[in-house]
Amino acid sequence: MSSPTIQAEVVQVADNAYAYVQDDGTWFINNTGFVVGPDGVILIDTSSTEARTRAFLDAVATVTDAPIQAVVNTHHHGDHTHGNYLTAPAPIIGHHLCKENVESTGIDHYPTAFVQPDWGNLELRAPTITFDTRMDLWAGDTVVELHTMVGVAHTTNDIVAWLPAEGVLYTGDLVFHGGTPFVLMGSVQGSIDSLEVLRGFGADTIVPGHGKVTGPQVFDDIERYLSMILDVAGAARAAGKTPLEAANDVDLGEFASLTDGERLVGNLHRCMAELEGPEANAEMSIAAAISDMVAFHGGPLLPCNA
C-alpha cells in the first residue's frame, strides 16, 4: 500500500470559519471544517487515515496556532472519525448513538469492498461528550449550533453544525455534492425528510460531507436522486426483482455523472427493505448489499484512494 498525494484546499466560508475540502470526494475522501475563536479552534470531523488527518491538522495550523478546543463528529463513519485520536486530549462531541456505533464498529477497513489504502496507525477514539437533540459551542462570539436529525437519515446519528450569523451549514454526509448519495446504513425516506430540515436553516453556504462547497440548491439535486431510488425500488419490488437486477436496468440519466455510481445498489437494498416493512428493514444484510455493489462495479470499489 502506498500513500496517495493528498489534494485538498482550505476554503474560507466566513470570517472565522473554514472548510477543508479533499478531492475528489470519493470513498473515504471526506471534507472537514473548523471554526476559529480567540482561545481555541472547533474542528468539524476528522478524516479516514492517519496521513489525511495529519494533513488536515497541518492545514488548520496554517490559519491559527490556537489549540483544539473541541471536535464535532457529524456521524460515526470512519472517514469522519478515524482521526479522532490525533486530536487528544480535546473532547469529541457527537450524538449518543455516534459514540455507541464508533465503539461497536471499531476501525472497519471494509476489506472485501476496497483495494486497501494506507490507513496508518489508527487508534479508536469515540465521542467523549454526547447529546440527543441540541448543543451550542462557542468560538469567542461565534456560536456553533449542533442539531441532530429526527430519526434515521444517512445514519442513525447524524448531526449538523450551524453558524446562524454566518449562514454556514456543515452537513456531514447528509449532503454529497458531485457524488452519489449513500443511505445504505440509513433510510431513503428519512434522508428525504432530512432535506426539509436542512432547508429550514436558511443557509447560504453548504459544506457537504464530500464534494465542493456549494449552496442550498444541492438539496434539490439530492431529493431528485432519492426520489428516483424510491420509484425504482417500488417498481422492482412489484416486479419481483432483486436490488442488483433493478440497478442493472436503471438509466441514471442526469445522475450518470455522479461519482461512486455503484452506491445505487446499496441504496436500492435499503429502500426495498424499507418498503418490505420494519422487520425486513431491520434484518437487511449490509454485507450482501456491499457484495452486490462490488458485483455491479465489476470488482473492488475503485481502488480506494484514501
Distance between CA atoms of residues 267 and 280, nearest Å: 15
Class of domain 8-215: alpha beta
- The pLDDT of residue 251: 94
pLDDT 10s digits, 18-43? 999 999 999 999 999 999 999 999 99
**Is the model more confident about 19 or about 1?**
19
Measured CA to CA in angstroms, residue 45 lies from 19, 75, 94 at distances of 11, 9, 10
Domain ranges (residues) in the chain: 8-215, 225-297
On the 0-12 / 13-18 / 19+ scale of CB atoms within 10 A, 39 is exposed
pLDDT 10s digits, 168-206? 999 999 999 999 999 999 999 999 999 999 999 999 999
- pTM for the model stands at 0.96
Taking alpha carbons only, the member of 247, 232, 36, 233 closest to residue 142 is 36
Place of cell 431529493: 223
pLDDT 10s digits, 262-306? 999 999 999 999 999 999 999 999 999 999 999 999 887 755 677
Q: What's the mean per-residue pLDDT of the chain?
A: 95
DSSP readout, the chain? --PPPP-EEEEEEETTEEEEEESS--TT---EEEEE-SS-EEEE---SSHHHHHHHHHHHHHH--PPEEEEE-SSS-HHHHGGGGGGTTS-EEEEHHHHHHHHHH-S---TTTS------S------SEEESSEEEEEETTEEEEEEEPSS-SSSSS-EEEEETTTTEEEEEEEEESSB----TTS-HHHHHHHHHHHHHT--SEEEEEES--B-TTHHHHHHHHHHHHHHHHHHHHHHT--HHHHHHT---GGGTTSB-TTHHHHHHHHHHHHHH-HHHHHH--HHHHHHHHHHHHTSSSS----
Measured CA to CA in angstroms, residue 70 lies from 21, 66, 112 at distances of 20, 12, 34
Distance between CA atoms of residues 181 and 198, nearest Å: 15
